[in-house]
Amino acid sequence: MKALVVVCDGLADRPLREGGLTPLERAETPQMDRIAEEGICGLMDPIAPGITPGSDTAHLSLLGYDPFQTYSGRGPFEAAGAGLPLRKGDVAFRVNFATVDENLLLRDRRAGRLRDGRELEELLRGIRVEGAEILFRSTSSHRAVLVLRGKGLSHQVSSNDPHTTGVRVEGVRPLSAAGRKTARILNEFLRKAREVLEEAPLNRRRREQGLPPANYLLVRGGGTVPSLEPLESRFSLRGACVAAAALVRGVCRLAGMEVAEVPTSTTGVDTDLEAEVAEVERRLEESDLVLYSIKGFDEVSHDGDARRKIEFIERFDGYLPRLREMADFLVLTADHSTPVEVREHTADPVPVVIAGPGVRTDEVRRFGERSCARGGLGRIRGTELLPILVDLMGRSRKFGA
Q: What is the pLDDT of residues 61-109, one digit of tens each?
A: 999 999 999 998 889 998 998 889 899 889 999 999 999 999 999 999 9
**Which pTM does this prediction carry?**
0.86
Complete domains list, the chain, with CATH: 3-71+228-392 (3.40.720.10), 79-223 (no CATH)
b/e per residue 68-92 (b: at least 16 CB within 10 A): eebbbbbbbbbbbbbebebeeebbb
CA distance linking residue 160 with residue 299, whole number of Å: 22
Q: DSSP assignment of 116-156, as one string? A: -THHHHHHHTT--BTTBEEEEEE-STTEEEEEEESTT--S-
> pLDDT tens digit string along 256-277?
999 999 999 999 999 999 999 9
What would the pLDDT profile of 129-163 be if each residue is shown by its tens digit? Answer: 988 999 999 987 888 999 999 999 999 999 999 99
What pLDDT shows up at residue 397?
85
DSSP 294-348: E-HHHHHHHTT-HHHHHHHHHHHHTTHHHHHHH-SEEEEE-SSB--TTTTS-B--
Under the phi-then-psi rule, with left for phi > 0, alpha for psi from -120 to 50, and beta for the rest, what region is 214?
beta
CA torsion through residues 367, 29, 251, 175, sign: negative
In degrees rounded to 5, what are phi and psi of residue 146? Answer: -135, 130
